[in-house]
Amino acid sequence: MAPLYQQITQYILDEIRSGRLVSGDRVPSEKELAEKFNVSRITSKKALETLVQVNVVERARGRGSFVSRDLPDLSHLGMQSAERTQVTTIPHDQRMIGIMIPDFADAYGVSLLRAVESRCAEHQHFLITKITHGKRDQEEQAIQALVELGVEGIIVFPVHGEYYNATLLRLVLGNFPTVIVDRYLKGILAQSVYTDNERAGLELTRYLLDQGHEQIAFISTPPENTSTIEDRLRGFTQAYAERQQPVKPGSTLLTLFSTLPGSFSAKNVETDRNTIREFILAHPEITAFVACEYNIALIVRQAILSLGKRIPEDYAIACFDHPNNEFGEILFTHIQQNETLMGETAVDLLIDQIAGKQGPTHQIIDFQLMEGASTPKRR
C-alpha cells in the first residue's frame, strides 16, 4: 500500500479525472482531508503540497486550495483510476505512534522503551521504533519516514548536543503531535517529559559532600546544547554554592566521547580511560567523582583501579542511572530515573495531543537516590 499522503493525492487526482472536481473548484482543506482519511494534518498538508508542486492544485492565501485553471496532462500523474489503488481510513486499533531514540542499553533506555510500547498497546496503537544512532541526519530521516508511514504522533528522544534540528522544529511548530523525552528544548514550547536533573545533580553531589569529600569532580561528555547534562552540572555547582564554597578550577572533565552513540569502541574507551587517569594524577586533592552516566562511571572505575587505588576506600563514585540488579550488589551509588513513568506519561500526553487536548508543557518525573558499593554506606 502506498504511503498515506500518496493515497490522498491519488484520491484528489481521481476526483479531477472523474469530473467531480474541475478547474477552479475548491479542494478539501488539510483539516477536512485529515478527518476524512483519519490521518494527521501534516500528512494531508504533504499531500496538498505535492499536488501544488506538479501544478494540479494552486493555493490562495486566506481562501484555501483550488484545482488549477491550467491543469497539466494528468495521464502521467499517479495511476489512471481509483480502481487501481485503495484509499482507506485507518481503524482505531491500527493507528500508529512513532518513537525515535539515539540508542538504548540496560542502564538507561530499555525500561523507557518497554513502557512506551506497553502504554501504546493499552491505547490500541502500534509502535514504530527508529534508532537514530545519535546522528542528526538519521534523526531527520527518521522523522520524515515516520510521517510518511502515517504515524499519528511521535515521541522524540533527541540526539546528543543539538536541539534545533530543522525537521524536528517544523514538526513542533506545525502542531504535529510531538512529545520530547529525557530532556527539553530551550525556547521551544514542545511538550517534554524528563527528570529534574538539576535537583538530581544537587542531591548526588550533596550526598558526597555529606560524606566528607571536599573536592569532587564532575565527569561528562560535552554538555553544550544537551539540557540533561547542563542541568546536572548546574546541580553539581549549586551543591557547592549551598556551602558557600566555589567549585575550584579543574573540578570538571567534560571532554569524554566514547559513550556517545556511534562512538563506543574499545579504542575510544581506552582513550577516555587514559584521559581520566591523567586527570586523577593531575588533581590529587579530588577524592570523589560524579559521573554523568553509568558507562562513564565504569570507565572512571577502570582508571582508578589501574592506578592501584581502591573504591570506596580511596575514591568514591556516584553516577546517573544503573542496570537493574535484583540479585546482586549495586555497583554504584546513583540517581535512578523512573523510566517506566516517563514512558507512560509521554504516551498519555501524545494521545491527548492527537485528540486535540493540550496538557502541561513540562512534565517532571521524580527520581530516587540509590546507594551502592562505590561509596561508604550512610551511618
For the ranges 53-57, 156-160, 196-200, 323-327, the maximum mean pLDDT occurs at 196-200
Mean pLDDT along residues 224-233: 89
Q: Which CATH class is domain 4-83?
A: mainly alpha
Mean pLDDT along residues 94-114: 88
Asked if the model's pLDDT at residue 82 lies above 60, the reply is no
Look up the CATH number of domain 95-195+339-367: 3.40.50.2300
Residue 32 in grid coordinates: 477536512
The residue extents of the domains of the chain are: 4-83, 95-195+339-367, 197-337
Contact 150, 162 (CB under 8 A): no
Asked if the model's pLDDT at residue 135 lies above 60, the reply is yes
Return the SS3 of 178: strand
List for the chain the helix, strand, coil content (%; round to 5). Answer: 40, 20, 40
The closest of 31, 20, 339 to 175, measured between CA atoms, is 31
Q: Do domains 95-195+339-367 and 197-337 have the same CATH topology?
A: yes
Asked if the model's pLDDT at residue 1 lies above 60, the reply is no
Q: What residues form DSSP beta bridges with 195?
A: 365
More confident residue, 106 or 184: 184
Residue 81 pLDDT class (50, 70, 90 cuts): very low
Predicted local confidence at residue 161, as pLDDT: 67
Domain 197-337 has CATH 1.10.3720.10: no
Give the pTM: 0.76
Mean pLDDT along residues 342-359: 91
Asked if the model's pLDDT at residue 92 lies above 60, the reply is no
Mean pLDDT of the chain: 87
Predicted local confidence at residue 296, as pLDDT: 96
Asked if the model's pLDDT at residue 205 lies above 80, the reply is yes
